[in-house]
Each structure stands twice: as C-alpha cells, then as structure tokens.
Amino acid sequence: MRHVVLMALCLAGAVLVSGCENQTAKAEKAIADVKKVDEQNLNEIMLTVGDPNEAVAYFRKGVKNKPGDMSMLRGLAKSLVRANQPDEGAQVWAKIAKMPDSNPGDRVAEADALIRANKWSQAETVLNGINPTYETFDRYRLEAMVADSKKQWKKADSFYDTAVGMTTRPAGVLNNWGFSKLSRGDPKGAEKLFIKALSYDPTMFTAKNNLVLARAAEREYDLPIMPMTQEERAKLLYTMALGAIKNGDVAIGKSLLKDAIDTNPRYFPEAQRALDALNQNANGS
C-alpha cells in the first residue's frame, strides 16, 4: 500500500512539473508575442512619423543586430528613401530582392528608389524583370513614369490609365499624368486631368499650380473656381503672371503680379522682384 501511495505522489509531482513547464512555455510565448508586436509597432512609427534620419539610424542598428531580418532590412530601405538617400535605398532593396523571402513588391520598391535617384534605365531593367502577372498600382505608376521619360506617350497613357483604376486615391498619379500631357504640348488634356486630381484631393497645391500653368498656356488668365487659401491664391496668381509673361502678354503679367503682391498676407519677395524687373526693363526701353 505504501508503494502505491508513493507512486501516486510521484505521478502527481510529475504532472505538477509538467503543468508548470507548460505554463512557463505559454508565458514565454506570450512575452515573445508582445515583444514582436511592440517591435512591429515601433517599426511602423519610425517609418511614418519618426524623423527620417533617426529612422535610418534605428533600422541600421536593427539590421546590425539581426542581419537577416526582412522587416528591419525593408525598414532601412524605406527610411533611406524617406531621408533623401534613394541611391543607398535602392542598394538595400537590391539586396533584399536576392533573399529567399523576397517578393515582387521588393523589386517594385527598388525601381521606385532608382527613379528617385534619377537612374531611369536601371529602373526600367528592374521593372522588366518582374513577372508580368504581378499587377499593382505602384508597378503601373512606375511603368508610366518610365514610358514618359522615353517619350513613349501611348504606352505611358495606357499605364497611367491602368494605375488610376487600381487605387482609391489617384490624385497623385492623375497630377503626374496631367504634367506629362502639359509637357507634350496638350494643355487642354492636362487641364482635365488636373481638375480630376483635385476632385480626389482638393488640398493638393501642386495640382492647383499645374492647373494654372495649363490655363496660362491656353492664354486663360483667370483663376479657376477651387478651394484655396489667401496665400495659395497669391502664389497661383504669381504662377499665372509668369505664364502670361512667357507668352508675351507682359501687361497682363504685370497686373497679375500686382494682384499677387496685394493678395499675399505676407511680403511676397519673388513677385516683387519680378515686377521690379519688368518696370526697370520698361523704363530702360
């Protein structure tokens, strides 16, 4: 009987130890999961709201501690691009693309960094090496830009159109497409695209400024109806004035410069200098 009791106690002890081990393992896993989530959250913060140079330092340290960690490598590549170091960013993306866990999106990001570094031919090579079945907004946006750089207008238009249809926020690509049309000498087509861009993002000043450039190219010197601050209105009048002067409509340009100076809530040195130069030229002649 004593042996039976002793055996029972031993078994109970074994179960107790096993239970403790299970609880310890679960606790360690929970702690590891929390640390992983915390790291992911910190990575996200560094990539979005952190100072770009601080983000570079953070991810460099992360890569040094975990050389094969894809999230750290991708974070470093993205932060380098954000910190206006696209050349170095492209090199990191190229390294990532050669790793077993890479995906086509890494190659697209590499092409994007190369374009930012003004390495268009290399970007085209990278894009051409991606499987045609990989279809994303970013890929088509970059394909359009590359085609634009080579003045392959029909191809560029096709890529821009496809990219616009693949995103719910097409304002940026519509603005790029419009600028492409403007550079080709199609201000009317460009104007339509800038207006469409502003319908998606009424705050995009670049599209507003480009819209004014397109209208000035058509000798339309009135500001379109769109939301704008007083300072934005002054800057747009200045842009229109420069367009008028470029067209040889100097008197209209001078009038627009005066309006820009009067409209701006602060001193507008660029407009004042342009107006002074025009007046000096008039007096000199």
pLDDT profile of the chain (285 residues), mean per 10: 48 48 48 49 77 92 92 95 96 96 97 97 97 97 97 97 97 97 96 98 98 97 95 97 96 96 94 92 67
d(CA 264, CA 257): 11
- CB contact set of 141 (below 8 Å; sequence gap of 6+): 159, 160, 163, 173, 176
Instruction: Decide: helix, strand or coil at residue 170.
Output: coil
Would you say residue 26 lies in a domain?
Answer: no
Would you say residue 196 lies in a domain?
Answer: no
Residues 142, 111 contacting (CB under 8 angstroms): yes
d(CA 254, CA 239): 12
Would you say residue 88 lies in a domain?
Answer: yes
pLDDT (0 to 100) of residue 284: 61
Would you say residue 15 lies in a domain?
Answer: no
Residues 54, 84 contacting (CB under 8 angstroms): no
Would you say residue 56 lies in a domain?
Answer: yes
Give the domain range for residue 73: 50-117
Would you say residue 230 lies in a domain?
Answer: no
Residue 166 to residues 34, 137, 141, 196: CA-CA distances in angstroms? Answer: 35, 5, 10, 16
| Global pTM value | 0.80
The residue written with tokens 């239970």 in the block is 19
What CATH number is given to the structural domain containing 101? 1.25.40
Would you say residue 113 lies in a domain?
Answer: yes
Rounded to the nearest 5 degrees, what angle is found at the Cα of 74, between the Cα atoms of 68 and 78? Answer: 150
d(CA 233, CA 222): 11
Please give the tally of structural domains in the chain.
1
In Å, the largest CA–CA distance within the chain is 125
pLDDT (0 to 100) of residue 88: 97
Of 171, 106, 164, whose CA–CA distance to 134 is shortest?
106
Would you say residue 122 lies in a domain?
Answer: no
> Positive or negative CA dihedral for 222, 225, 231, 235?
negative
pLDDT (0 to 100) of residue 41: 75
pLDDT (0 to 100) of residue 262: 96
pLDDT (0 to 100) of residue 23: 53
d(CA 239, CA 113): 30
pLDDT (0 to 100) of residue 35: 45
